Amino acid sequence: MRGLYLVTPNWDDTARMLDITAAALDAGAALVQYRHKDASPELRREQGAALQALCRRYARPFIVNDHLDLCLTLGADGLHVGGTDMSVAAARAALGPDKIVGASCYGDLALAHAAWKAGASYIAFGGFYPSPVKRYSFTTAPSVVAEARTQIDLPVVVIGGMTPDNAAPLVNLGADMVAAITSIYGADDPGAATRRFDALFAQQKGNPQA
């Protein structure tokens, strides 16, 4: 796991979401997470199925945020769980050993260690910067990335107000993936924005997960 981790916005416009997702995948986005906190169950199924079909075309992993039922219905590649969602252990038990299970760990190494032991496939830290999408009541210290790199044998994802410029120090500390929403879906040229994120990893040296 390495590169741009694309997270969808709360858009009801499925065609627009698919167009920008396709542009990002075409430019090299490594993974797509479907996250729409306000969608109806019907819209969630429609968008999830369409995004999964798109990811299949590009041979990139497709995971669902929070909704285990949708993940199972679609046969998605995995599930991402947050601190108030189902546990990593429950997600792993429901999905089996071969699916991706991601865990939000905020800025807490203890949560990351627990997620690792419970069977997580990757750990996500953040938010590091103010986000126009997610409101964080805390700011995650960049040092947690370097600490996790030395303590936990899992890919590290960083999230929260990510741009190619402010993500660079976190990639240099060892982040394997940068999760972005607005920097791609709000970009004038989503493909170019994706390539700017990917360039961070091309420039990185000495990453333990490389």
Residues labelled catalytic: 35, 104, 134
Question: ∠ CA 1-171-117 to the nearest 5 degrees?
Answer: 50
Give the separation between CA 177 and CA 193, rounded to whole angstroms.
15
**Measuring CA to CA, how many Å separate 208 from each of 24, 34, 50, 142, 150?**
26, 28, 34, 17, 9
Give the separation between CA 192 and CA 66, rounded to whole angstroms.
29
Give the separation between CA 78 and CA 62, rounded to whole angstroms.
7
Give the separation between CA 53 and CA 203, rounded to whole angstroms.
31
Strands 122-125 and 156-158: parallel
